[in-house]
Structures are given as structure tokens and as C-alpha cells.
Amino acid sequence: MKVVRAHRPMRIGRSGAVASNHPAATQAGFDVLRAGGNAIDAAVAVSLAIGVVEPHMSGLGGDGFFHCFLSGKSEGIVYNGSGFAPAGHVPEGITSLPLRGPRSVSVPGAISALGVMHAQHGTLPWSELGVPAIEAAKDGFGVTHVYQRFASKYADEIRPYPISTKLYLREGDAPTIGEFIVQPQLAMSLEMLAKDGAESFYRGGLAEQIVVDMHDAGVHITVDELARFNAEVQRPIAVNYRGFEVRQTPPNSTGFVFLQALKLVEAKLPSDCSFLSAGIAHTLIEAKKLAFVERERYAGDPHESSIPVEVMLDEHRLRGLAECIDQKKSAVLPVRPSAGDGNTTYFCIVDRWGNAVSAIQSLNTCFGSGVTLERTGILLNNRMSCWHLDAGHTNRLVAGRRVRHTMNAPMVLKDGKVWAVFGTPGADDQVQSNLQVAVGLIDFDMDPQSVVEAPRWSSSQEGQEANWPHAGDDALTIERTYPEDARSELANRGHQLVEVPYLEGPCSVACIRILENGARVAASDPRRDGWAAAY
């Protein structure tokens, strides 16, 4: 494993590791592991806690995908907590989709997925795992530079919603560093959830309060729709990449796009270039472009359309597709015939027994719908903005369907054991940042902290953006610390560079690598409040 000097130390331990986008959430999972809990227990604690301390990214009102590896059986399971479109938010003759507000909310699914996952494989009592989240909601979490930056950027979009403005801003502006964000109503909801279980969110006393709260806020999700929701238990999809088994979350997640891009890279990656060379970056970018065209063709709710995963991941077909990559010229590949930030959170966990969880959860955009429920303190998602309205589109809005999700949670196995777990928030940037991490780890044997901190890029295509109206342009956003000769060569190949300062590029990766001696090496991203721990 090649070690490159990084700003942050790697966290290395024999028994367990956690990496998330906030120190308090990482600590919640770390304490569970130290108390004898397994990776699934720790995932519940991290999920609930990070929804409190990163309220702008995820929470009880959002969705999530939880990808588990169970070491005793070498088994992979995905708990799909993505909600469906409520009938009341699908009016006749709809011609546009709201980005914010009560009609942008879909049925929240993350809590159901956590509950099913814990019921099947958890070992510690559910009631204990929510304690860190409850304490953080009651006592408050301190405002960091990262929270302040997001609150400042999105203040104008929060102000129309008085409850959210009161909770997350100060006199209509971003709070100062060190102030505390206290969420007393959310603390009471978390206490009910801890006492009555995840079921109560959908079919119990808490559910009754949520539905009344939603009705008063203008959110048209009925008690029957909430009660009808159940997380789906799925098997991961996978490809072989240079002898490694790379697993991903299946549709309606777009994890298959990452797997496709990997296979395209496998066929075309230059063997005589360094990781931060123009040759490597160009190949990854061009593979990503082709895979995103595939996403538009196939990605939707697999229960409502025919999504041939076997065809999408067919090695012979992908090798033929890889021949479309011109190594000397940037291709312009719009993902639609014609023409937002995605804000999410990711975490990963490996326990002493070799169980692992790769987890991602989201409200969709920053601060979601903007609607915080008055009595329960739950900030709701705005996932309805991810639908398409074109007739015949695989992701076309229909009541009861689950929308296409940019969220994906990869995992890499070698010889039947977890070799690496990593992922990131970032909407359309997720797949391409994960691609850079995978190639850095596998092809260049980089240590996880070095690959997490390496200069990063993200590619945009016309029609690419996840949210309505699905805009996009032919741009390559790249951090200025990418080598100058690489940036110059990428421009010569036709890439339209948009340069940003180091650590202001896309995403916030969390990564755990398991070495041959069993060491858990955990890394966190300084681009947000990422933090890793191991023991």
C-alpha cells in the first residue's frame, strides 16, 4: 500500500472502524463497537446521530440505502429505504416540479430500512442505539465552518419556512461558529422512536403525530400511504474488476452506473500513467460520460419497468462500449435529447468480526424541502424534484413509484472478505468520485487517506442533473492542485475546465480499507466535517 503524505492521519485499529461526515456521528458508532455491538448496531447509531448533527443533509424525513456484508455467511444484503411518490403530489397535467415546499416531499423511507436491518441482524437493544442522537438533539450541536457555509449558501431558500428558519438560522442568517443548534421537538420524536421501535414511524403513535403535522404543513401524504411503506430487502449487484468483486446497491439506486464505469475503465485504462495524470483522468471522465448515458436509458423503479441488470453489466457489451472512448479527445455526450447541488451523507463501518456496512442517506438537496414539522421537529425531504415528466421516460413520475436515486453505497471484496468500504454524498458527483477512489485504491495501491485527500474532479453533461429541470453543461470542475501539466493536457483534449481551490471540489469521501493482517485503516475527507475512528 503506497502511502502519500496527507493532511490527516489514518486511523488504524485491529477490531473496528467507523468513518462518517461528522465527528459526533462517528463517535456514536465507535462507542457502539467498543460496547460490543456489531456493524449493524453501529450503523443505526450513526444514522440517527448524523441526521441530528447534519440536519441539512439527512434525517428522519429522508431516504437511505444500507449495504451490509455479513462475514459469517459472506453474504451481502441491501436495505432499500427509498420512499414512493404520494398520490397527492401528482396532480393532473403537471408540467414542472417544485424544488422546495410541501409538494416536493415523498414518503420518507430511511427509518424503515434501519428497523428491518436491525431486526434481522442487530445485537444491541434498539432503544440504546438512539441515545447519542437524542442527546445531540436535546443539548444541541455546535456550528462548524462547514455547517455555517451550507446555512449561508441556502439561507434564502430556508427563510420562507418559519420553523426551519428558527431552528437552523439566526435572525434569518447563518449562525456564528460555536453556536448550538438545539432541536427539542426532534428529540421527543427520537425518544418515541427509541421506545416504540422503527415501526412507530409508519404505523404507531409517532406516525399519527407525523401525519397530522404533515397535513398542517400542506404535505399530502396520507396515514394509509405512510402505513403502506416497507423497506425492500435486496441482493447487491456486482462485477469483477481486476480480480476484485465490486458490489453495489441495485436499482432504484444507480449503483450500476459505477459498476459500468469501472468495467469501461478496466478495458481502456493506460498502464503507463500516474494516478494524477491527464491520461488516467481522461479515461475515467470518458467512461463516466458513457455510463451516464446508460443511466438515462435504464434507471428507474425496477418494479415498474424492465431494467435488465444482466444486460447493463454484460462484460462483452461493456467492452464494446469502451471502444467508443477516444483517448485523445473529450466527447460531448448529452444524456438527453434536450435539456443543484445534491446533499446527502455517507458513512461506513467494519466491526471486529468482519461485518461491514456501506451506508448513504439523504434529504436530496440541502435542507430538503425546507419544511420542518412543527410538533415532531422532522425536516422533510424534497425527493419529488428528481422525477422526469417525459412520456415513456424510465424515471417518469407516477404515484406509488420510487424515483431514481443517485445514492449508491459500494463495497469491494477480495477472496470472499471485505477489502474496502467507501462512498460519498454528492448527487451526480457520487459515482464519479467513487470511481476515482476505486481506481486509486485498486490500480494504484494508494492508502485510503491519500486517495481521499487527492485532488478531485467532476464532469457534467447536458441534461445530467438529478433534479428538475435536469439541466447541465459540458464542464469539468477540477481542483487547482491537480498537476498543472495534467490540467493543461486535459484542456488540450477538449475538456472545458472550471478550476476551483483545493478541497473545494466535489463530495466528501469516507473510506475503510482492511489489510491482509486484519488492520482496519479508516480515512475521512477534510472537504466537510468528516471524521474517522478505529481501535
Rounded CA-CA distance 107/93 in Å is 22
How many whole angstroms separate alpha carbon 166 and alpha carbon 168? 6
Q: What is the pLDDT of residue 93?
A: 83
pLDDT at position 4 is 64
| Distance separating alpha carbons of residues 510 and 26, to the nearest angstrom | 11
Of the candidates 283, 344, 406, 477, the residue annotated as catalytic is: 344
% of the chain surpassing 70 pLDDT: 98
| Residue whose C-alpha is closest to residue 397's, from 137, 87, 159 | 87
Longest CA–CA span in the chain (Å) reads: 62
Q: In sequence order, what DSSP letters do the residues of 319-334 get, joined into one string?
A: HHHHTT--TTS-----
Q: Which among 85, 109, 76, 130 has a CA at the least distance from the CA of 229?
A: 109
- 373-425 per-position pLDDT tens digit: 999 999 999 999 999 999 888 999 999 999 999 999 999 999 999 999 999 99
Write the Ramachandran bin of 420: left for phi over 0, alpha for psi from -120 to 50, otherwise beta: beta
Residues 6+ apart with CB under 8 A from 479: 455, 456, 457, 499, 500, 501, 502, 503, 504, 505
* Cα–Cα dist 110/274, whole Å: 40
pLDDT digits (tens, 9 = 90+) for 521-535: 999 999 999 999 999
User: Is 358's pLDDT higher than 60?
Assistant: yes
Domain map of the chain by residue range? 1-140+182-535
Average pLDDT on 283-306 reads 89
* Low-confidence winner among 110-119, 292-301, 331-340 (lowest mean pLDDT): 331-340
CA distances from 22 to 3, 273, 303, 423 (A): 24, 35, 35, 14
The answer to whether 347 and 21 have CB atoms below 8 angstroms apart is: yes
User: What value does the mean pLDDT of the chain take?
Assistant: 95
CA distance 249 to 301: 13
User: From residue 29, how far is each of 36, 179, 396, 529 by CA, in Å?
Assistant: 11, 24, 38, 16
Contact 299, 252 (CB under 8 A): yes
Three cell numbers, residue 284: 475515467
Structure confidence at residue 299 (pLDDT): 84
Q: Is 344 a catalytic residue?
A: yes
531 forms beta bridges with: 20
DSSP 8-state symbol, 171: T
Q: Which of 535, 521, 510 is nearest to 46 (CA)?
A: 510
**For the segment 216-266, what is each residue's pLDDT rounded down to a tens digit?**
999 999 999 999 999 999 999 999 999 999 999 999 999 999 999 999 999
Per-residue pLDDT of 207-226, as tens digits, reads 999 999 999 999 999 999 99
Question: Up-side HSE of residue 230: CA atoms within 13 Å toward CB?
Answer: 5
Question: pLDDT, tens digit, for every residue of 24-64?
Answer: 999 999 999 999 999 999 999 999 999 999 999 999 999 99
Residue 92 has what pLDDT? Answer: 86
**Which amino acid is present at 257?**
V
β-sheet with 417-423: strand ranges across: 11-13, 520-523, 510-514, 417-423, 411-414, 244-248, 237-241
**343 pLDDT band (50/70/90 cuts)?**
confident
The verdict on whether omega for the bond into residue 410 sits within 30 degrees of 0, i.e. cis, is no
CATH topology of domain 1-140+182-535: Glutamine Phosphoribosylpyrophosphate, subunit 1, domain 1 (3.60.20)
Q: Which residues contact 343 (CB under 8 A, 6 or more apart)?
A: 56, 57, 150, 362, 363, 364, 365, 366, 367, 425, 427
Query: Residue 302 pLDDT > 90, yes or no?
Result: no
Question: 371: closest CA among 116, 73, 167, 150?
Answer: 167
